[in-house]
Structure 1
Amino acid sequence: MTNFVMVPGMWLGAWAWDAVAEPLRAAGHDVTAVTLGGLAERASEAGAATLESHIGDVVAAAGEHPAVTLVAHSYGCFPVRGAVERLAGRVTRVVYVDSGPVPDGTAQADFGTEPDPTGTAVAPPSFDPADDPVLFAGLEGRSAWIRERATPHPYATVAAKLRLRDPDQPPTDLVCSTFTRDNVEGMIAAGHPFFAGLDRRDYRVHELPTGHWPMFSRPADLAALLDR
């Protein structure tokens, strides 16, 4: 049995993991899905949300479990990477879903994320495959459902730079949905900073071809992979 703590990316809450968490719980695992401050049912906290508070949300979700597996989708890699330091040896494995263990000094804004006209939030995208057939692949018929539940993401958490003291990584799995195993292993071999600390062999790369949101487009397959 594994104690999973699952952290969604931008605009999403714990609800995004429902279709993945259900089969994992049925298989006997403990699953805690996280809603980060300022999102979903916690939208009223947007003004107080920071990257540090999001890291604290992940640490709090780990509770008193002596051993946890952290699962990070997209932006979730930032609070998860920070929580790895806080939780230290209690993290037995980290699974990055279409993301990776970004290094010290990196911000989500470095990937080109722009705020809305108010400068305080980042508006959700359309999630429509017609707008981006690669990024939104597999979301046909589900785009409106996702948009109805998505909430603006607090820009302060996007602009903040992740600060780390320890470059070491626990055993790590990378789930590749919009990029390939060869892409990732080539970047690791070349010392790409976004995969810092993975220049060793206790990481694994798994291909799950789909769009950037496999918890919506291939939830059963993602759950089966996590179960394995």
Structure 2
Amino acid sequence: MAALVLVPGFWLGAWAWEDVARELRSAGHEVHTVTLTGLAERAGEAGPGTGVQAHIADIVRVIEDNGLQDVVLVGHSGANVPVTGAAARIPGRIARLVFVDTAPLPSGMAVIDFNHPATQERWRKEVAEEGDGQWLPVPPFERTGDAHDLAGLTDEHLARLRERCTPQPFATATEGLDLPHGLPAVPSSLVACTFTPGQLRELAASGSPLFAPLAGMDLHHLPTGHWPMFSRPVELAMTLGGLADR
């Protein structure tokens, strides 16, 4: 049976996967949850140069130190870049990449580049004014913001996010991956939460190089907001477990 390595998105630590990991382990799966450098209990380990390569190294270290093979490597949201980089570095150990409400980015593209220009400007302003020039502050997680993004979250979920999230090393948002040979040649799946598979297929067929990788991906639909490990942990675990059982 494949081992699952779960990598959280921006502002999160391994704690974000607690409910999903519990479900997977109860079904007999081997699960490793990752806290990336500079986040959660590792907040004190980051420096000014902590970026994408440090997070790739974190993931590779978990896989190699635990002697894992046939890994189902799961990345949520902004973890799309480091899980792609880890798979490119050790492709022989990766059985499948799974992107949770995110997708691989083209070579050289950073997470910030994928966002609307207004969001990019807001992030840079927040980092300069509140993040000492190197930290992306935790969002307010208020329902007055993007209700679609927060769909399915209870008030208790929102309070938990506000309490436990930590600022994100900003270089991880501004650094892209150099992929001279293209995306890793491993099977890839996408669990779509804020988009439907039909919408993703339309993007894939649009001819834009940005969405070209979607055409070859195995698509799954888990309708909820952008944080399914909180809003629908049982269903997410079932989806990931099914992919691991292939």
Range into which the TM-score falls when normalised by the shorter chain: over 0.9
Rounded to whole Å, the distance in 1 between the matches of 2:52 and 2:198 is 31
What's 1:136 paired with?
A: 150
Q: Deviations over 1:150-188 (max 9, x none)?
A: 000011111112111322431111111111111111122
Match of 1:210 among 211, 224, 232: 224
Is contact 1:136–1:211 with CA below 8 Å preserved after alignment? yes
Unaligned runs of 5+ in 2: none
Residue of 142, 154, 169 corresponding to 1:154: 169
| Amino acid aligned to 1:52 | Q
> Kindly tell me: are residues 56 and 191 of structure 1, through their superposed partners in 2, closer, same or farther at Cα, counting changes over 3 Å?
farther
Distance in 2, matches of 1:108 and 1:179, equals 18
Aligned to 1:57, what secondary structure does the other structure show?
Answer: helix
Report 1:57-96 matches (<5 A).
Answer: 57-63=58-64, 64-96=67-99
* Distance in 2, Cα, partners of 1:191 & 1:87: 30
Letter in 2 for 1:211: G
1:61 maps to amino acid: V
Question: Which residue is 2:182 aligned to?
Answer: 167
Matches of 1:166 and 1:216, distance apart in 2? 36
Preserved CA contact (<8 Å) 2:97 2:188: yes
Which residue in the other structure is 2:54 paired with?
53
Q: Which has the higher helix share?
A: 2
Amino acid across the alignment from 1:162? L
Task: Indicate if the aligned counterparts of 1:138 and 1:217 stay in contact, CA closer than 8 A.
Answer: yes
Structure 1 residue identity aligned to 2:228: P
**Aligned length, in residue pairs:** 226
| TM-score normalised by length of structure 2 | 0.87
Which moved further from structure 2: 107-116 or 18-27?
107-116
CA distance in 2, matches of 1:219, 1:189: 31
Aligned counterpart, 1:103? 106
What is the aligned partner in structure 2 of residue 17 from structure 1? 17
> Letter of the aligned partner of 1:65 in structure 2?
L
User: SS at 1:72's partner residue?
Assistant: strand
RMSD across aligned C-alpha pairs, in angstroms?
1.5
Q: In terms of mean alpha carbon deviation, does 157-166 or 30-39 score higher?
A: 157-166
1:6 deviation in Å?
0.7
Q: Over residues 95-154 of structure 1, what are the superposed CA-to-partner deviations in whole Å (9 max), with x where a residue is unaligned?
A: 100000111011011124414213211111122333221011111211111110000001
Q: Call closer, same or farther: CA 1:199–1:180 in 2, change over 3 Å.
A: closer
Percent of pairs identical after alignment?
A: 46
Q: What TM-score, normalized to structure 1?
A: 0.94
Residues in 2 aligned to 1:151 and 1:213: alpha-carbon distance in whole angstroms: 16
Q: Distance in 1 between matches of 2:133 and 2:215?
A: 38
Question: What amino acid does structure 2 have at the position aligned with 1:9?
Answer: G
